[in-house]
Structure 1
Amino acid sequence: MSRLDELRETMAEQGVDLVTIGPGAHLAWLLDIRPHGDERPLLLCVTQSYAGFLMPSLEAESAAQQTDLPFHTWGDADGPDKAFAELLQMSGAMDAKSIVLDETMRADFAGLVQDALSDAKRQFTATTVGALRMRKDADEYAKLKRNALSADTAMKAAWSAMKTGTSETQVADIIRDNFASQDVKPLFAIVGAGGNGAFPHHHTGETLLQNGDAVVMDIGGGKDGYSSDMTRMAVMGTPPKGYTEIHAIVEAAVQAAMAAARPGVKAHVVDDAARGVITDAGYGEYFMHRTGHGMGVEIHETPYITASSQTVLEEGMVFSIEPGIYLPERFGIRLEDIVILRADGPEILSDLPRDVEIING
């Protein structure tokens, strides 16, 4: 069954008459096409009987190389209104009672749809495209696994080159260069040494690595439309006071989250498990972010593993487990793995242990 067929099946189950999608991750997942997006309205409209594009004429020739779905083209001189009316008429959407808007599309694109179908009940993609994207198929798993292993290699390359006096930026450059050598696009490399590690999203800079620094290393690279995301810890020489104890607490939180993650469990139960370990150890106030996020064609997507999430986890979902403890002006510790949920629990995509890497040099 194609993803478009899956979408139509879900639309029927949810009582949705029309799904409208703009350029971006939803469209890339659904049809594997990535048209250029700008201020010119470009929309895919899907009903049970029709699927077609409102397509700027400037984009039509290029987009036609990626899809054989019909285009309703328009030019700058005329504007999109006539072409969009034709698309809605052809698709049978003029009488739609329930419509889905891509929540990531431009507001003026969404306005075009709502103005044309002002009496329809509107919702976003959570129960249609979003729900389908959360469950990864075998091909998606293979791409995510390959990306995870490439991150393992990039992390080990950085560890091999790190030494006291090396800057955070230089370490990040080593990671990016290694990704590139694997034909993987470097996406991000957060390197936080010493007190900088206490900022969960530290902006990697010119701080030099010194003996006794704990170093947070959060990296990711992308290939074939998917990516990696992994955080490991390194210590320069002798660990700072309290490091070993707190690393063990964070590792216990990871393991508790892994044990809680099962099909049929609500996402907040996984967050509760990780957060409970850290809180019981007396460091609850120093764990200030969610336990995880989904990952697929986007690095951050549903399901979100938060304290309030009511999303029911299902087999095939892919998400991070990444608890942390961040002690201001001392150090931070975050341990992150991407997992795919199997019938008996999570499978970790990385092969790299979460043990701290001791750097001597």
Structure 2
Amino acid sequence: MSLTPAPAPFTADDYRARMARATESAAAAGLSGLLVAPGPDLVYLTGYQPTAITERLTVLVLAAGQEPVLVVPKLEASDAEHAPGAAALTLRDWTDAVDPYALTAPLLAPSGNAGSPQRFGVSDNAWALHLLGLQQRLPETSFAALTEALPMLRAVKDEHELARLEAAGAAADEAYTEILKVRFAGRKETDVAADLAALLIKYGHSQVDFTVVGSGPNGANPHHEAGDRTIAHGDMVVLDFGGLKHGYGSDTTRSVHVGEPSADEQRVHDVVREAQRAGFEAVRPGAACQDVDRAARAVIEEAGYGEYFIHRTGHGIGVTTHEPPYMIEGEEQPLVPGMCFSIEPGIYLPGRFGVRIEDIVTVTEDGGRSFNNTAREMAVVE
């Protein structure tokens, strides 16, 4: 078993720099600042993840000309004080007897342009309850979802983030290598899914997010959840699995076959493998996200399976397994070094089988580099 040492934790200075960049990016996007609720954006910017998400308001306020402020319920203030990025923050706590929106509203006051309308970016997972509470007290202030207003907030990774993603990818590869040794035929999908989850944990994952095991006709559903179907000899099996290691995501897919595949099954797999390769070869600085999708999709369409490729080619990955940028037609965001995302074309034949092959890649100065390096040829299992 190959295990790499845990990387050094991010420091308060790391989080301070992230918050400064986020504030600058918000200003460049025409925003007065950001309101960040508990979730991946808050973890990325401060290292703070509340132990429980409740109806009580917790929000990070980032605005030009003022220090970052984290508004937290008093009963959670002690946890917040020990967050990795706490030293870069001002904490402002409140009790249940206080109106948290009245407490927070002054932090959103104009800075520099008194009286001008304010517009704040809001993290996508903020509760409507909290946003409406702030709107009631600041009727002249408008709000925009961060995915729309600042989609690249977490998209470009630094060297320390890249190292974590590489380690997560390598751990997922180890799990795949070992799962090929177990018996598939005669076992339920849930049995193999449990094996995959255990292997991810064995190789250092702290969290397993998903273990898709789609056998036979179930493989034609891209998001099939492992069920009670018994895997049989002659089945194609889609294996898609991942989670978090050192706080960053893994996500890989390989399609295996129980016993020797038919000529038709082999052809479909070969087409998907070629499409995945074409998508990877389209990765380079300056190319648009949609170029990756177009390159992979063109191979599948030319082979006559275009109508059976029913999802985007890829998604970003970082502190969550799905985040911007997205490799999809119409996304003209240019690729830049440090971006990380999946390339995962697939063909799904209803009632028969599905095939998907997925790697996580990062953009380099002269192309792309894959964090998943197991064989992409179809593996035959027992």
2:139 pairs with 115, 118, 135, which one? 118
| Aligned twin of 1:37 | 53
Q: Given the superposition, is the C-alpha separation of residues 90 and 307 from structure 1 closer, same or farther in structure 2, using an over 3 Å criterion? A: closer
TM-score, reference length from structure 1: 0.93
Q: Is the counterpart of residue 305 in structure 1 residue 321 in structure 2?
A: no
CA distance in 1, matches of 2:22, 2:261: 52
Query: Aligned to 2:55, what secondary structure does the other structure show?
Result: coil
**8 Å contact from structure 1 (residues 267, 306) kept in 2:** yes
| Aligned twin of 1:141 | 162
Per-residue CA deviation, residues 98-125 of structure 1 (Å, 9 max, x unaligned), is 3222222111222233333322343232
Instruction: Measure how far apart 1:64 and its partner are.
Output: 1.1
Q: Is the counterpart of residue 73 in structure 1 residue 73 in structure 2?
A: no
Instruction: Measure how far apart 1:199 and its partner are.
Output: 1.1
Alignment of 1:25-174 (within 5 A): 25-35=40-50, 36-48=52-64, 49-66=66-83, 67-68=86-87, 69-88=89-108, 95=115, 97-126=118-147, 130-174=151-195
**8 Å contact from structure 1 (residues 231, 334) kept in 2:** yes
CA distance in 1, matches of 2:47, 2:113: 24
Q: Is the counterpart of residue 292 in structure 1 residue 309 in structure 2?
A: no
Please identify, of 209-218 and 255-264, the stretch whose mean Cα deviation from structure 2 is larger. Answer: 255-264
| Aligned twin of 1:179 | 200
Query: Aligned to 2:242, what secondary structure does the other structure show?
Result: strand
Amino acid at match of 2:72: M
Which stretches of structure 1, 4 residues or longer, exceed 3 Å deviation after superposition? 85-96, 126-130
Q: Which blocks of at least 5 consecutive residues in structure 2 are unaligned?
A: 1-13
CA distance in 1, matches of 2:105, 2:306: 55
Q: Which blocks of at least 5 consecutive residues in structure 1 are unaligned?
A: none
Amino acid at match of 2:314: G
Instruction: Measure how far apart 1:29 and its partner are.
Output: 0.7
Q: Is the counterpart of residue 236 in structure 1 residue 258 in structure 2?
A: yes
Alignment of 1:278-357 (within 5 A): 278-357=300-379
CA distance in 2, matches of 1:12, 1:169: 48
- CA RMSD, Structure 1 to Structure 2 (Å): 2.1
Per-residue CA deviation, residues 294-325 of structure 1 (Å, 9 max, x unaligned), is 11111110001112222222221111000011
Query: Aligned to 1:26, what secondary structure does the other structure show?
Result: helix
**8 Å contact from structure 2 (residues 284, 365) kept in 1:** yes
**8 Å contact from structure 1 (residues 26, 129) kept in 2:** no
Q: Given the superposition, is the C-alpha separation of residues 91 and 297 from structure 1 closer, same or farther in structure 2, using an over 3 Å criterion? A: farther
Query: Aligned to 1:274, what secondary structure does the other structure show?
Result: helix
How many corresponding residue pairs?
360
Query: Aligned to 2:154, what secondary structure does the other structure show?
Result: helix
Percent identity of paired positions between Structure 1 and Structure 2: 36
Instruction: Measure how far apart 1:85 and its partner are.
Output: 3.8
**8 Å contact from structure 2 (residues 63, 108) kept in 1:** no
CA distance in 2, matches of 1:122, 1:304: 23
